[in-house]
């Protein structure tokens, strides 16, 4: 690995070493709060606790897609493959957390509304975004070379993110201005302990995202080094 | 002839992923020179030509066209007007006629009096009479000639031709050789690649061999016999990168 | 070269090719017809008592979306043959001119297919289009523009990849959601005989969508055209 790459790898390892215990602590605290501290919600009962994972996941997915957007622009401007690795990592995490939203949503919906799926505005938007960024990942696999994948994915990353507000807006119009369920139910926004727990979970998930991002970027960089080594000595390694 | 080279490539680096194809390749082409570039398959001849034509961005190094760096986007249109490129593929629209193809490119390059220019070119490449047939009906040799006409439509100073002789029968090869000699005679700068050492030797002022990612051999044509060239080529082409 | 002339030259070239072979139009038109027929079998609107006012919007937009993909794909496939894409990259015009020229041609192809298909759709339902024709034309035109903008950009992105035929719909359909939603809603209001004021906002939103992605295409096409 080059000297620069080494420094980057070290920096990422430092970040991981710092973040891992932090995530552990925050996650433990969050789980404790969600399952032990916070009272049952008035109308929905115990299942409402999913909200503390559902919404932060959506936030993290959005954060991921924003990182894809920023990294894509940086890649096209600088042509440094590092930015492409960042974009790839962030897209994978975005897709993952979107999937979590799409799974926790129905788990929440079933007991509350008696149906697994509902074409409610935010869930539908999440589904469409998931499809957009899954297509982004598929594009990467179908490109003919690393450079082509980086370039085309960067264009798609920018276009996809620009589409996000348009998609959100259009789905909202489609569904009419229905209030989002958890707002209408009781004093959720007002109960201090619920709000604090919610903010804790948001923080936890954000830090978790950063940790996973650092890890995934480092894996991506190691992959590249491996490919380079293989190129130089095709006989070495499996 | 001016001192400054028309085309100057400096320390070019290019790789497909981790596989490096061009390694610190430097090349200078003077105005009016015809350079034949030989090299085995996979040596990077096509890649080099595409980098010189601005189709590929090198990962290192820079190419200058009379001092203007090719990487500068603002100068791109000016640079492109001075380069004519012939690739392995004809870059022709097969459903359109020869004339429609050439007219299209003439208009895209902003050629004055496109109709006249096309007629001139059809005569020069000996395709007059067939210009209103769809390109799909042309033979390989005819398509190659039309592709050359396309590369010449805007009267570029620099011609980058990737294996222009491949797939041509002896008559077409001779004709192309004459055409290139004529162009060189009129002061055009030509860089072409070839597998055919004899034809290449006949059509060029200068010979180069690409091996190991850079120019392993570079000499004027005068005094170079086909035998010597063949031996040199065999020796160098066997070299592993 | 002035970008507009280069764009028009490219558009003219595409139109000329299409007029010569009619391959894009024929495949898109018959596919659109097939979609209509399959829909009628699948949903049996007649026995459900549903008229064009209720389902026409959906039928129109599903037809347009899926049949347009065929002509959008073809748009850059004809450039990929014989590497004409590289030739376009070598032309001294702004890359955005290539995008705009292709976009204009694609837009015209989409409209060319919809022009006969819309009356045929209405015919299948026994609906009289004459009252709503101006409004319907406006809705279809504006939304087709946005759809074509996105489609042209994505077609160029996917053309050099493997499985490009699969990738284009995969990329385009979710991203085109706003156009489909706004298009359907506006069409439904239009077919119900409502005045322009009722769906004018939706048309304006679609126009914004089109504008955003035309600008995005202009700015990003340079990177797409590169090899």
Q: Could you give the ipTM of this predicted complex?
A: 0.90
* CA neighbor of B14 nearest in space, from B65, B66, B54, B61: B61
pLDDT at A176: 64
Q: pLDDT: is A194 or B220 the higher one? A: B220
Mean pLDDT across chain A: 86
Enclosing H/E stretch for B62: strand B60-65
Chain A residues touching B19 at Cβ < 8 A: 231
Distances (CA, A) of A53 to A92, A98, A197, B135, B223: 18, 12, 11, 62, 80
Banded pLDDT at B238 (limits 50, 70, 90)? low
Output the pLDDT for position A178: 43
Neighbouring residues of A105: CB distance < 8 A, sequence distance ≥ 6: A54, A123, A126
- What is the pLDDT, as a whole number, of residue B140? 86
- What average pLDDT is seen over chain B? 88
**What pTM did the predictor assign?**
0.90
**Top-confidence range, B7-11, C19-23, C106-110:** C106-110
Evaluate whether B142 touches B66 at the Cβ level (below 8 Å): no
The per-residue pLDDT for range C30-69, each reduced to its tens digit, is 999 999 899 888 888 778 888 888 888 899 999 999 999 9
Buried b (16+ CB within 10 A) or exposed e, A14-25: ebbeebeeebee
Residue B126: Cβ within 10 Å count? 14
pLDDT at B176: 86
Mean pLDDT rounded to a whole number for chain C: 91
Q: Is A238 contained in some domain? A: no
* Residue A195 in this model has a pLDDT that exceeds 90: no
Which residues in B have their CB inside 8 Å of a CB on C? 50, 53-57, 73, 76-78, 80-81, 83, 85, 87-96, 100, 104-105, 107-110, 150
Q: What six digits make up the tokens of A230?
A: 């293989």
Domain count, chain A: 1
Asked if residues B12 and B51 have their Cβ atoms less than 8 Å apart, the reply is yes
User: Hey, where are the domains in chain B?
Assistant: 31-54+75-208+215-235
Which residues of chain A lie closer than 8 angstroms to C182, CB-CB? Answer: 170, 173
B78, B114, C226: which is closest to A76 by C-alpha? C226
Lowest mean pLDDT among B1-10, B169-178, C118-127, C133-142: B1-10
**Residue B240: its pLDDT value, please?**
41
Give percent above pLDDT 90 in chain A. 50
Strand partners, B209: B38, B217
Q: Is the pLDDT of residue C70 over 60?
A: yes
Q: In the complex, which subunits touch B with 3 or more CB pairs below 8 angstroms?
A: A, C
Residue A207 has pLDDT above 60, yes or no: yes
pLDDT for B92 equals 95
**Cβ–Cβ of A227/B57 closer than 8 Å?**
no
A144 — contact with chain B (CB < 8 Å)? Answer: no
Q: What's the pLDDT at A87?
A: 97
Within a domain: residue A96? yes
Q: Which of A79, A145, A232 sits opposite B17 (nearest CB)?
A: A145
CA A86 to centroid of chain Cα atoms: 13
Question: What's the pLDDT band for B241 if we cut at 50, 70, 90?
Answer: very low
In a domain, A218, yes or no: yes
Tell me if chain B has a CB within 8 Å of the CB of A226: no
Mutate to test the interface with B, among C5, C77, C91 (most CBs of B within 10 A): C91
Option in B57, B83, B87 nearest C86 (CB): B87
Residue tagged 């709000």 (tokens): A195
**Best of B16, B60, B71 to disrupt the A interface by mutation (most A CBs within 10 Å)?**
B16
Nearest CA in chain B to C80: B91
The correct answer on CATH 3.40.50.300 for the domain covering B31-54+75-208+215-235 is yes
Q: Quote the pLDDT of residue B67.
A: 86
d(CA A52, CA A72): 31
Using an 8 Å Cβ cutoff, are A214 and A12 in contact? yes
Which of the residues A83, A121, A142, A154 would you substitute to probe the C interface, choosing the one with the greatest number of C C-beta atoms within 10 Å? A142
A228 touching chain B per CB within 8 A = yes
pLDDT, position B233 = 85
Which pLDDT score is estimated for A238?
53
Position A92 pLDDT exceeds 50: yes
pLDDT at A68 over 90: yes
Least confident range of B3-12, C131-140, C155-164? B3-12
Sheet containing strand B60-65, edge to edge, reads B19-29, B7-16, B60-65, B68-69
């Amino acid at each position: 690995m080059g000297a620069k790459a080494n420094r980057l790898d070290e920096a990422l390892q430092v970040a991981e070493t710092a973040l891992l215990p932090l995530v552990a602590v925050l996650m433990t605290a969050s789980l404790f709060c969600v399952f032990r501290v916070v009272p049952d919600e008035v109308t929905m009962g115990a299942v409402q606790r999913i909200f503390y994972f559902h919404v932060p996941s959506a936030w993290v997915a959005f954060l991921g897609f924003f990182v894809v957007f920023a990294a894509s622009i940086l890649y096209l401007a600088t042509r440094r493959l590092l930015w492409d690795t960042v974009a790839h990592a962030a897209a994978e995490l975005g897709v993952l957390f979107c999937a979590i939203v799409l799974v926790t949503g129905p788990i929440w919906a079933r007991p509350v509304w008696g149906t697994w799926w509902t074409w409610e505005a935010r869930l539908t938007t999440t589904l469409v975004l998931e499809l957009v960024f899954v297509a982004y990942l598929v594009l990467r696999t179908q490109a003919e070379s690393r450079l082509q994948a980086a370039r085309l994915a960067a264009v798609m990353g920018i276009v996809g993110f620009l589409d996000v507000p348009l998609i959100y807006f259009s789905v909202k119009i489609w569904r009419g201005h229905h209030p989002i369920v958890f707002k209408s139910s009781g004093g959720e926004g007002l109960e201090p302990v619920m709000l604090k727990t919610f903010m804790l979970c948001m923080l936890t998930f954000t830090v978790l995202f950063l940790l996973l991002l650092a890890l995934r970027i480092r894996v991506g960089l190691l992959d590249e080094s491996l490919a380079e080594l293989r190129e130089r000595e095709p006989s070495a390694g499996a | 002839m001016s001192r400054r080279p028309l085309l100057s490539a400096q320390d070019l680096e290019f790789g497909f992923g981790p596989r490096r194809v061009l390694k610190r390749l430097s090349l200078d082409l003077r105005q009016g020179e015809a350079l034949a570039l030989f090299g085995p398959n996979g040596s990077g001849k096509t890649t080099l030509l595409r980098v010189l034509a601005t189709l590929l961005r090198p990962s290192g190094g820079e190419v200058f066209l009379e001092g203007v760096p090719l990487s500068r986007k603002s100068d791109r249109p000016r640079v492109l007007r001075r380069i004519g490129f012939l690739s392995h593929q004809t870059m022709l629209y097969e459903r359109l006629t020869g004339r429609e193809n050439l007219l299209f490119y003439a208009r895209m390059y902003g050629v004055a009096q496109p109709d006249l220019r096309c007629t001139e070119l059809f005569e020069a490449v000996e395709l007059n009479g067939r210009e209103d047939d769809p390109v799909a009906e042309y033979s390989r040799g005819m398509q190659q000639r039309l592709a050359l006409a396309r590369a010449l439509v805007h009267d570029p100073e620099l011609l980058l031709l990737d294996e222009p002789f491949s797939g041509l029968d002896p008559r077409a090869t001779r004709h192309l050789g004459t055409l290139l000699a004529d162009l060189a005679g009129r002061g055009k700068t030509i860089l072409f690649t070839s597998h055919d050492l004899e034809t290449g030797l006949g059509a060029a002022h200068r010979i180069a061999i690409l091996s190991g990612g850079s120019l392993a051999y570079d000499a004027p044509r005068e005094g170079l016999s086909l035998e010597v060239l063949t031996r040199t080529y065999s020796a160098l082409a066997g070299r592993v990168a | 070269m002035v970008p507009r002339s280069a764009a028009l030259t490219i558009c003219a070239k595409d139109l000329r090719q299409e007029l010569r072979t009619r391959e894009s139009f024929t495949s898109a038109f018959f596919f659109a017809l097939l979609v209509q027929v399959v829909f009628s079998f699948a949903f049996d609107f007649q026995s459900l008592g549903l008229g064009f006012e209720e389902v026409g919007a959906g039928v129109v937009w599903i037809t347009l979306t899926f049949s347009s993909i065929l002509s959008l794909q073809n748009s850059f496939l004809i450039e990929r043959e014989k590497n004409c894409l590289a030739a376009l990259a070598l032309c001294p015009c702004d890359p955005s001119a290539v995008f705009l020229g292709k976009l204009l041609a694609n837009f015209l192809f989409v409209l060319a297919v919809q022009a006969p298909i819309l009356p045929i759709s209405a015919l299948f339902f026994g609906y009289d289009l004459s009252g709503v024709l101006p409004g319907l034309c406006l809705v279809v035109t504006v939304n087709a523009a946005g759809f074509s903008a996105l489609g042209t950009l994505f077609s160029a992105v996917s053309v050099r990849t493997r499985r490009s035929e699969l990738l284009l719909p995969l990329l385009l359909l979710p991203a085109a959601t706003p156009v489909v939603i706004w298009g359907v809603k506006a069409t439904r209001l239009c077919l119900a005989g409502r005045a322009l004021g009722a769906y004018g906002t939706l048309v304006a939103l679609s126009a914004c969508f089109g504008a955003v992605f035309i600008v995005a295409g202009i700015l990003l096409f340079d990177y797409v055209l590169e090899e």
